[in-house]
Amino acid sequence: MNNIALNNAIRFIGLLFLQVFILNHVNIFGYINPMVYIAWVFLYPVRKTRSLFLILSFLLGISIDFFSDSGGINAFAITFIAYFRLPILMAVLRKSDLDYGQFNLKTLSANKIILFIAILTFIHHFIVFSVEYFSFSELLNIVSRTVFTGIFTILISFLGITLFTKRK
């Protein structure tokens, strides 16, 4: 139990610093900054009680906002995907009930992991860019940014998950 808490604490701080000091400044093709910190939502253990998970996700989002001066946008988006993670996971697995204690993302097939990550990523990015631009006339910009940034986020998080987490 302690081990899991420690793991989560390290992951929280690691993802926060990775995001604000490195990924916010990579500027692929001049403007794409992947938002890999949402890997927090993919990796947090799936449990029946979700209060702590929701609160921690919110805190991670607001921390990112503090660093990148985006004022609540990231907190809003990450809380949203944190809440809808379970229903989306169920839909991806085509199951109506999960074995909460045993569930591990790594035991899924690569296709399902990518599908799961992709759905959450695109929802998250779409919210972030919609709130940031906040105008219907910029819809094309919003969608293109969502797609391009999303592709890099998915790529990096998938590689990160397959390389840096232990298979059980």
Partner 1 sequence: MRQIIYFIKKFRYFLLFIVLETLAFIVIVQDRSYHQSKFVNSANAITGGFYNKANSVSAFFHLKKDNQLLSEENARLKNLLDAKENKFDLDSFTVKDTSQYFQKYDYSVAKVINNNFTKRNNFLTINKGAKYGLAPDLGVINSKGIIGVIKNVSSNYANVLSILNTNSKINVRLKNSNHFGTLVWDGKDYNITQIIDIPRQALVKAGDTIITGGKSAIFPEGIAVGVVKDFKYEQNKYQIINVMLFNDMSAIGEVQIVKNLHKDEQIILEQSVVNE
Please state, in angstroms and rounded to a whole number, the distance separating the CA atoms of residues 42 and 21: 21
Which of 14, 18, 47, 68 contacts partner 1 by CB under 8 A?
Answer: 68
Candidates 18-26, 34-42, 91-99, 156-164; binding stretch for partner 1 (CB under 8 A): 18-26
**Using rule CB under 8 A, residue 80 touches partner 1:** yes
- Residues 21-40 touching partner 1, rule: CB under 8 A, are 21, 24, 27, 30-33
Chain length of the chain: 168
Specify the residue, 6 or 28, whose C-beta has the smaller distance to partner 1: 28
Report the sign of the C-alpha dihedral through residues 143, 145, 151, 154, in that order. negative
Q: Is 62 in the site for partner 1 (CB under 8 A)?
A: yes
CB of 101 to partner 1, least distance (A): 19
- Compute the distance between CA of residue 158 and CA of residue 117 in angstroms, rounded to an integer: 8
Name the β-bridge partners of 110: none
Q: Which residues of 67-89 are buried (b: 16+ CB within 10 A; e: fewer)?
A: eeebeebbbbbbbbbbeebbeeb
Tokens 């793991």 label which residue? Answer: 7
65 counts as binding partner 1 under rule CB under 8 A: yes
Residue (131 or 156) nearer to partner 1, CB: 131
**Can you give the binding site for partner 1, defined by CB under 8 A?**
20-21, 24, 27, 30-33, 50-51, 54-55, 58, 61-62, 65-73, 75-76, 79-80, 83, 131-134, 138, 141
